[in-house]
Each structure stands twice: as C-alpha cells, then as structure tokens.
Structure 1
Amino acid sequence: MKRRKIVLVAGVFPPGIGGMQNYYYNLSKHTKHDMTIVAPEYPGSDAFDEQERLRIVRGAFMRGERADISSWGRLFRQVRRTLRGEEPDVTLYGYVLIGFIGLLFRVFGGRRYVISTHGMDMLMFRRFIGLNAVVKLILRKADGVLTNSKFTKRLVEDYGVDPRRIGIVNPGVERVYDRKPADEELLEQLGLEGKYVLLSVGRLVTRKGHDRVIEAMPAILKQIPHAVYVIVGDGPARERLEQLARATGVADAVIFVGSVSGSERLNDYYSLSQQFIMVCRELEQGDAEGFGIVYLEAASAGVPVIAGRSGGASEAVLDGVTGLLVDPESANQIADSVVRLARDEVLRERLVRDGYHRAKTEFQHDVLADRFDQYIGRICALPSVRVARRLARESARQNAR
C-alpha cells in the first residue's frame, strides 16, 4: 500500500469527550498513512498534545463544540497554511459543513477532499432548503465520503453521491473494555448490592430512549422486583427524565450517575450491570443514532445488550445473535425483552459469547484503521470527480458521433 499524506480537519477532537472525538483520535493514531490534524482548542489541549505522538495544529475554531461561523475565516486561513505546508494527497473534513472549505479548495486549487459523516448530520439539514442544497453540493463534489455505518451510507446515497466513492469505517472499541469482576466499592457507593442492574450509557437526549426504559420500569419491576435502572451520562433531557421517573412512580429504582470520565472507570459501570439497554429511536426532526459504539463497549465487557431497532443500531447489534433489538416506542416490548434476558440463561450466555467475540475481532481499532487506509488509497487512486466527469462527457460525445 502506498503511504499517503492526509490532512484531517476535525470539527471535534480529544481532549474533548465523545464518540466522534474518539473516532478521529483512533483513526489518527492507528492509520499507516501520514496524517496531520487541524483541531479545535480545548482546556488542557496543550498537555494532551504533549503526551501524544500525533501532529496536531490547534485553533479557536469551535464554540461549545459547535461550528463557530464567526471563526470560519480563521479556520479557512489555518487550513490554507496547513495545505501549503503539507501538500497532502487528500484532505478529510470531519464535519459536513466544514467541508465547504474543501469545496472551495477543490474549485480554486483542484485539491482532493473527503467528507466524514456520522448519520445525524445527513438528516439534520433536510428541513432547510438552502442548507440542504449546500450539503448536497459539498457531498457530490467530494472525491469521497467516509461513513460510520451502512445506515449512514444509504443517507449519503440519497444525496446522489456515487456509491463507488463512499466508504464505511465503523467506530472501534477501546481494548480497556473487557470482562472484570464488579467493583464492590462502586456497588456499595451506589447502593446496588443485591440489585439487578440495567445500564444505559450516553448523552441524555431524546433519541437515546432513556424515557422509554423509564416508562417500562413498572412492568419490569413486577417481574424483577430488585431491578434498578442506572443511567450514566448527562445532557439537556436530565430534568425531564427525573420528572418522568417520579411521575411513573419508579424514582427509587432509577439512578442518575451523571458524566463519567475515562474508559477504565466506564468499564467499571459496564461490569456491575446485568444488562445494557439503550433503545434509540429516530425522531421526525432528523435525529438518529448513526451507529452506537456503546453497544459494542458493553459487549466487549461481557454484558448482554438490548437496542432500539432504528438508525445504525441494527449494525452495532445483530438481533438474536449479539443482542436483542426492540421497538423503541413500545414499553411492553422493552419490558418483555429485559425479563426474557433475565430468565433465559442459555440465550443470555450465547448473546454474551457471540457479542464479545465480534467486538474483540471486528471492531478493534487496528482492524478498522486498515479499512480506512485501504479506502483512502482507493480514493487517491481514482480519477478526481472533475476528471471523471470530463472523461464521461468525452465518452458521451464520442458515442454520439
């Protein structure tokens, strides 16, 4: 494989916390290509960069982890300086609208660019005619589009992108997630001794489905009286979820832990649970789970998994093979699946075994980075979009003669 030079213009990056941050960090860390990262500044980013062997250029391009339009001029100038200094084979843009800069450098400099997409970004602009047209232009002019799942790939194809230019590289699982005994101190701290623990890990937003699990808790408690629902994460829906738990009469059986930092500590929470559950659903306003790496983290920790049948979750969880998929809108189906897993030891052990094997073989970062490397190599070997269209026009003219 020919070693290529890549500039990654990352909308988010560590030490910021989140799935996309981990995605870009691990691609950068494990790729065999030569990569330079243009990343936003964070508190503690200097210390982070010093301990990493990555080539990172920082700038004040984001505000609250959202694209800061007022600073796009600074981002444009930084990207221009980086491209002139590095002369990469391709530039990878980690946010579709930031890809507009790639489009400009394509038009005025002929530079190759690839857009990285994650699912929700392919849905959220469809209600806005102007923005949707810009997204369509950015995607169709790109040399490639990197997606995190088949679900996201289908959304990209809806924009008319040539399927041959679309690649899939799923998020990966940190090796630290693995089977281990429950942390007795943590069990005592949370008052979980002798409890049957259901666990969710994720930002507290509507699409994650915490509310549906809370609504299912009365039925679950009738069958499993010592069940407790532990929610790790924080977000704008927390107050609403706490009110729902009180209104449903299950406040004593729902524990809000808040945010947990660090993979090792998060693994402790997976290890104290009997089931992992996150019943994501797709919302009308274009909000969906593009993949769901937490399902594979739980599987890697040896925990049986229940997911909502929506978005890319059906790729992260294979129904009846590595976990169970349920209708995310049905409290009855959620409760029935929880009870089924609790009572069917043979099913539970099979799902744990096969889920663990899949997480540890197909979703390790070195395996996924190899797919990324091959995809970048393939994109760089293809004629550019501009050349491909010129050749197609010439071929059409010759055929018409």
Structure 2
Amino acid sequence: MHKTLIVTNDFPPRPGGIQTFVHSMALRMRPEDVVVYASTWRDGSEVRKFDAQQPFQVVRDRTKIMVPTPRVTRRAAEILRAEDCGSVWFGAAAPLGLMAPQLRRAGAERIVGMTHGHEAAWAQLPASRQLLRRIGAGTDTLTYLGEYTRSRIASAVGPAVAARMVQVTPGVDEQLFHPDSGGAEVRAKLGLTDRPVVVCVSRLVPRKGQDTLIRSWPRVLRAFPDAVLLVVGGGPYRADLEKLAAQTGVAASVVFTGAVPWEELPAHYGAGDVYAMPCRTRRGGLDVEGLGIVYLEASATGLPVVAGDSGGAPDAVLEGETGYVVPGRDTAALAERLTTLLGDPALRARMGAAGRAWVDSTWRWDLLADRLAGLL
C-alpha cells in the first residue's frame, strides 16, 4: 500500500461525525503509512496534546478552516513530496478535492475523495455543482455513504465519474459499543433507575430533531407518566430546546446532560431503553443527514432505534427489524413508535439483538477500513 496523505478539515479534537470517521479510519492504517494534513481547532494546547497522542504524524495548517487556496495547495504538495506519499485521501471531497490536479502533478498516484451529506447538498446548486464535477474529474474514486447521497452526487459529476463511485461508510467499534456498556451506572447517577428512558445522543442542532422529540413527549407521558427523555450532547440549540421543554410543560421529564467525553458515550446510549433521533431535511435539501452513524452505535449497544427520514438516515435502519423510520416532523407518528417500543420489552429485545447482529456483520470498522485500503 502507498503511504497516504490525508487532507482534511474534519479531524479531532474538533467534534463531529466526519471527524470521527476520518480519525477511526486513520487509526486502522499502519502508522508509518499515514500523514495527516489538517486544520487547527480552538486552543492550540488542546490540539498539540491530541496530536502528540496519535501513532502517526499530524501536520496542522495555521487556519481553522482550510480551503484550496494556492498556499494550502502548495503546502499539501510539499508534504506529499517530503513524505513520499503515493496516495491522497480527502476526508471530505468538497472543497479540498479541488486540489487534486495539483497533487497529482506533485506525484500522487491514487486520489480518493470521501463524500458526505454536504456534497449531496452541493449537487443541488448550479455553482457548487460545477465545482463538484471538477472534484470528481480530478479524483480516481469518490466514495458515498448510501443510495441517497450517491444518486444526488452522481447526477452532478456525470456518468463516467459516477461509474467509479464506491460505497465507504463510517463504521462502529463493536467492542466499545455493546449492551453492557455501563448504562445502569449512568441511570443511577442521573436518578433514572426503574424509569422508561428514551435517549437521543447527538449534536444539538435543528436538523437532528430534538425539538420534535420534545413536542411529542406529552403524548408519551400520557402512556408512560414516569418516562424520561435523556438528551445527550452539546450544541447551539440547547437553550431553545430547554425553553421549548418548559413551554410544552415537560421540562421535569427531560434531562439534558450537555456534551460528554467520547469514552462515556457508549454508557449514555446504554442508559436508554429506546434510541430516537427524528432528523429532518432543512433549507430546501441543503441541510440533510448523510447517514446517521448514531443509529448504528445505538444498535450496537442493543437498543431499538427510531430515525427521521432525512437524507441517508434510513440507510442506517432495517425497517421493522432494528427499528423504525418516521417523518422527521410528525410528532404523532414519533410518539406512536416510542410508546409501542416502551410498552413491549420483547420487541425491544428482539430489535436490539437484530441491530447488534447487523452491526457485527456489516458495519464493523475493520471491514470498512479494508475497503478504503483497497481504494488507496
């Protein structure tokens, strides 16, 4: 395998799904085969501490958001030549994939661009659609998360590039996310022992649909008066959600944990009886869920899931087997699925077991990392 230069804006300690995706893939490559060129994020000491803990080399650009300017492109080419990298992997194809032709001239033999939900949004606007076509032409392979993202990106890049697209998705660490992940301890700490719990682990932003969960909660409480909605994660939407919970009259049964450390996430999933994130598409399709790895992490933890219908989120659910998909704005449909699951322990157990088995057979990191290695 060639030594690979990973060029990415999305890399820890900056939080997010793409960041976790890129980092987890990089950790499954031989350290001597990887060099990461990434943007900087927030406090320099936090970034330096994180980088020092990595088994591979990380080179940080001085900017918080890298764009394919001549300076950034020259720096990427310098790293590629100095480290004798034969392949390039763009953690997110847009916009950094616009550097592909220059990096090929600098010596890259293979160039792979990962696409996510935002590239599918780019495909809907004329100007960004043309840029996406250029990115596709400059790479050997564009990856996609699922049929939703593939179909939209393929329409922009044209038949020749679309024929070279390959599915590579985020994975789940099945040894980290499992049914005995420490949920009972979290329940005890939060005072939720012996109460029905619906958990949502996600960033607090409008697309994720925590507001729909809160609006549906009075219906759930009519069936299960002692039920609790456990909202795990931080984000700019928290104040609005807390205000909504108070206005809806359910504040006493909604618990906000704020952001929790990555290593504590499995236990917080495990604190729930049901996982729910009713994500929805916004801004005319420009704000859309690419896949929804949280549903698979919940499945690995043994929970049934209730997903919204935004973008590729349904790709992470086997309808009626590992959970359900509902319209992201339909509070009645959401409440019906939640009360059905809360009231049927056998159904929860069956769906949780099916989800765990599906993750083990299809979504493990080692399987997906092997696919990426083949492309590189």
Q: Displacement, 1:109?
A: 7.2
TM-aligned CA distance change 1:49 to 1:181, over 3 Å: closer
The offset of 1:101, in angstroms, is 1.7
Structure 1 unaligned regions, length at least 5: 377-401
Given candidates 78, 83, 86, the residue that maps to 1:81 is 78
* Corresponding residue for residue 126 of structure 1: 124
Separation of aligned partners in 2, 1:246 and 1:369 = 45
In the TM superposition, what whole-angstrom CA distance separates every residue of 1:292-336 from its partner, at most 9, and x where no partner exists? Answer: 111111111111111112311111111111111112121110000
Q: Unaligned stretches of 5+ in structure 2?
A: none
Partner in structure 1 of residue 100 of structure 2 = 102
Does the residue aligned with 1:56 lie in a helix, a strand or coil? strand
Q: How many Å separate the matches in 2 of 1:140 and 1:154?
A: 17
**Is 2:112 the partner of 1:114?**
yes
SS of equivalent residue, structure 1 residue 165: coil
Question: Which deviates more from structure 2 when the two are superposed, residues 218-227 or residues 104-113?
Answer: 104-113
Using the size of structure 2 for normalisation, the TM-score is 0.90
| Partner residue, 1:247 | 247
Shift of 1:51: 2.7
Q: Is 1:144 matched with 2:141? A: yes
Tell me whether 1:90 sits opposite 2:87 in the alignment: yes
Aligned residue for 1:297, secondary structure, equals helix
Alignment partners' CA distance in 2, 1:181 and 1:209: 25
Q: 2:55 aligns with which of 49, 53, 68?
A: 53
Q: Is the contact between residue 136 and residue 159 of structure 1 (CA under 8 Å) also seen in structure 2?
A: yes
Q: Deviations over 1:15-34 (max 9, x none)?
A: 22221111111211213693
Is the Cα contact below 8 Å between 1:118 and 1:290 reproduced in 2?
A: yes
Q: Deviations over 1:326-351 (max 9, x none)?
A: 12121110000011112233322221
Give the partner amino acid of 2:201.
V
**Aligned residue type for 2:95:** L
Residue 200 of structure 2 aligns to a residue whose secondary structure is strand
Superposed CA offset, 1:17-71 (max 9, x none): 2211111112112136933211223442333333322132222232xxxx355x9
Structure 2: distance between partners of 1:99 and 1:126: 18
Q: In the alignment, is residue 214 of structure 1 matched against residue 214 of structure 2?
A: yes
Of 9, 15, 35, the residue aligned with 1:17 is 15
Q: Which amino acid aligns with 1:77?
A: R
CA distance in 2, matches of 1:124, 1:253: 39
Q: Which residue identity does 1:177 align to in structure 2?
A: F
Length, aligned pairs only:
367
2:167 & 2:61 partners in 1: Cα distance? 29
Displacement after TM superposition at 1:177 (Å):
1.1
Q: Is the partner of 1:257 in helix, strand or coil?
A: strand
Q: Is the 8 A contact 2:205 2:237 kept in 1?
A: yes
Partners of 2:183 and 2:272 within 8 A in 1? no
Cα distance in 1 between the residues matched to 2:56 and 2:106: 29
CA gap of 1:86–1:335, structure 2 versus 1, over 3 A, is same
User: What value does the CA root-mean-square deviation take over the aligned residues?
Assistant: 2.3
The answer as to whether partners of 2:302 and 2:349 remain within 8 angstroms in 1 is no
8 Å Cα contact 1:232-1:256 kept in structure 2 = yes
Q: What displacement does 1:188 show? A: 3.9
CA distance in 1, matches of 2:136, 2:120: 10
Q: Which whole-Å CA distance do the structure 2 matches of 1:369 and 1:114 have between them?
A: 13
Q: Name the residue aligned to 1:379.
A: none
What secondary structure sits across from 1:171 in the alignment?
Answer: coil
Q: For the Cα contact (< 8 Å) 1:124–1:287, is it kept in 2? A: no
Contact 2:321–2:351, Cα closer than 8 Å, also in 1: yes
Task: Give 1:55's aligned amino acid.
Answer: Q
CA distance in 2, matches of 1:321, 1:200: 20
Whose Rg is larger?
A: 1
- Structure 1 distance, partners of 2:262, 2:110, is 36
Change beyond 3 A, Cα 1:221–1:93: same
Aligned counterpart, 1:380: none
Q: Does 1:257 align with 2:257?
A: yes
Q: CA deviation at 1:285?
A: 4.9
Percent identity of the aligned residues?
32
The alignment's TM-score, normalised by the length of structure 1, stands at 0.85
Cα contact 1:61–1:75 (8 A) shared by 2: no
Query: 2: distance between equivalents of 1:372 and 1:224?
Result: 46
